[in-house]
Amino acid sequence: MEKIYAPWRHDYVSKTVYAKEKKNLKNECVFCQQFEEKRDRENLIIKRYEHCALVMNRYPYNAGHLMVLPLKHKAELCDLDSNVRAEIFEIVNIGIESLKKILNPDGFNIGINLGQAGGGGIPSHLHVHILPRWNADTNFLATIGDTKVICTDFMKVYDRLIEELK
């Protein structure tokens, strides 16, 4: 089996990115801290709903990479009541439809990485990824050049999503 080496993800996945800040974070969780701060633009929070929020991923795999998170610090789907689970997937749908209008992707990956072994970079706070995909959106650059090309202005996508969801 061949392996693709992605060293740029190490600090994020191993949590060393937030290690220095951890003592100062609410629940030792960057998401909970951002929800408390009420600095939505700076923290890339697109919209808050009754139980959840739609957020741009600060470390996107592709342009328009979004996440849906419960506002409460919960790690597992079973920790959420049925209303919150239903709201999460309603917001996933809203995110998909908004991204279709704004970025016109060819498809989507929707996923939840439960637990650190499941790939969760921040496994203590459940989040659902909405990842727009385009035909041929992967290439050799990430593998040999340690570079991922995202050809869309990050904050322009944020602003367009804010406008779309008014």
**Does residue 5 carry a pLDDT above 90?**
no
Note the pLDDT tens digit of each residue in 40-59: 999 999 999 999 999 999 88
The angle, 0 to 180 degrees and rounded to 10, between the axes of the packed helices 154-164 and 82-103 is 120
- Cβ burial of 152 (10 Å; 0-12, 13-18, 19+) is middle
Note the pLDDT tens digit of each residue in 102-154: 999 999 999 998 888 877 778 899 999 999 998 877 654 444 445 455 567 78
127 classed as catalytic: yes
Q: Are 63 and 151 in contact (CB under 8 A)?
A: yes
The answer as to CATH 3.30.428.10 being correct for domain 7-164 is yes
Q: What are the boundaries of each domain within the chain? A: 7-164
Note the pLDDT tens digit of each residue in 58-115: 888 888 999 999 999 999 999 999 999 999 999 999 999 999 999 999 999 999 988 8
- C-alpha span between 117 and 136 (Å, rounded): 28
The residue from 51, 65, 125, 127 that is catalytic is: 127
